[in-house]
Amino acid sequence: MKPTVVKIDNLVKRYGELVALDHFSLEIKEGEIFGLLGPNGSGKTTTINCLLSLLAYDKGEIEVFGREMTPTCYDIKSEIGVIMQNVAVLDELSVRENIDYFCGLYITDKEKRKACVEEAIRFVGLEDFVNFRPAKLSGGLLRRLNIACGIAHKPKLIILDEPTVAVDPQSRNRILEGIQELNRNGATVIYTSHYMEEVEQICTRIAIMDKGRKIAEGTKEELKGMIRNTESVSIEILELPGEIKEKITHLPHVYETEYDGTKLTVRCSGGKHNLIRILAVLQEAELGFGRVYSELPTLNDVFLEITGTALRDSKE
């Protein structure tokens, strides 16, 4: 069994009346890419700040690499790489100097640091921009620099707090591929995001957060297995008599139907050949229809079913 890298137990953090973290617990094993998924304001960044011992909390325990995490645990901090939500670089330094500066806060050996810096530059693909100042970089390149500053010292635990916010798709893919590569090289990764597609794409295990609480945890398959929905069928149809909608609702494995005047959505729980059975009902009633989609459940469906609101609609 792999050792535990991060253990958060019963963490409570209040901002006055507001409970930002409500008895939040978590355990992350070595080698995982652990996703913290939740809408803005759900407590992801607060969790990370508590984990890094930046933020004082009201109750609970945090252990990193098997030891209690305190602000003066510099040896533990040396093994952690942090990529903040906001770009944290120094405007007066060039790309190479920025990476060297932050790497130097962890590595004292000059030669070793130099090698790490060059490797980090190659890793994020900033070879052509090493002498550029941050102000001259595009948003995507700036994010890559931000990542390079956080990982240059080759940490065992990498924490990425929404690193792809306001990043173009090309840079986003590069960042996600990079995270997977870091993981393949042995780093444990904690990845927070409110983009469920990203979390689904790279994370081996996911915790879904809402209002400071963990509402679900597991692999994406386990999470999807927690909900009733196994398939959503959408059909473009301009006319749907009430009795036909009723008939579809009573088909085996169908538990919910929705019709908005142009599109019929049928949610099924388990079973096979749901689509064929639904189409057969429509053909039998001689109703014409347009495009037909069948979708497997997403993490958004998981969030929707557990909280009653869609993940992407949730506001801070």
Q: Within 13 Å and on the Cβ side, how many CA atoms surround 113?
A: 16
Q: Which helix (H) or strand (E) holds 149?
A: helix 139-151
Residue 239: both structure tokens together: 């006319």
* CA–CA dist 159, 147 (Å, integer): 10
Residues 6+ apart with CB under 8 A from 81: 150, 151, 153, 155, 157, 158, 159, 187
φ, ψ of residue 151 in degrees (nearest 5): -115, -5
Instruction: By CB under 8 A, name the one of 66, 105, 181, 246 that touches another protein.
Output: 105
99 SS3 class: helix
* CA–CA dist 212, 20 (Å, integer): 5
71 vs 290, which CB is nearer to another protein? 71
- Asked if 150 interacts with another protein (CB under 8 A), we say yes
Shortest separation between residue 84's beta carbon and another protein, angstroms: 5
Stretch that binds another protein, among 45-53, 60-68, 225-233, 300-308 (CB under 8 A): 45-53
Residues 52-91 that bind another protein (CB under 8 A): 52-56, 71-72, 74-75, 77-78, 80, 82, 84, 86-90
Number of residues that bind another protein (CB under 8 A): 32
Shortest separation between residue 80's beta carbon and another protein, angstroms: 7
Location of structure tokens 């069948």: 294
Residues 106-125 that bind another protein (CB under 8 A): 106, 108
Instruction: By CB under 8 A, name the one of 9, 27, 97, 305 that touches another protein.
Output: 97
18 vs 296, which CB is nearer to another protein? 18
- Asked if 166 interacts with another protein (CB under 8 A), we say no
Residue 62: both structure tokens together: 């945090």
How many CB atoms sit inside 10 A of residue 53's CB?
18
20 vs 207, which CB is nearer to another protein? 20
- Asked if 93 interacts with another protein (CB under 8 A), we say yes
Q: Which helix (H) or strand (E) holds 222?
A: helix 220-225
- Asked if 281 interacts with another protein (CB under 8 A), we say no
* CA–CA dist 223, 157 (Å, integer): 24
Shortest separation between residue 87's beta carbon and another protein, angstroms: 7
Shortest separation between residue 159's beta carbon and another protein, angstroms: 9
Residues 6+ apart with CB under 8 A from 226: 216, 218, 302, 306
- Asked if 49 interacts with another protein (CB under 8 A), we say yes
- Asked if 188 interacts with another protein (CB under 8 A), we say no
Residues 1-30 that bind another protein (CB under 8 A): 15
Shortest separation between residue 190's beta carbon and another protein, angstroms: 13
15 vs 169, which CB is nearer to another protein? 15
Rounded alpha-carbon distances, angstroms, from residue 247 to 60, 264, 266, 268: 52, 13, 12, 14
- Asked if 226 interacts with another protein (CB under 8 A), we say no
Residues 6+ apart with CB under 8 A from 3: 29, 30, 66
Q: Which residues bind another protein (CB under 8 A)?
A: 15, 49, 52-56, 71-72, 74-75, 77-78, 80, 82, 84, 86-90, 92-93, 97, 101-102, 104-106, 108, 149-150
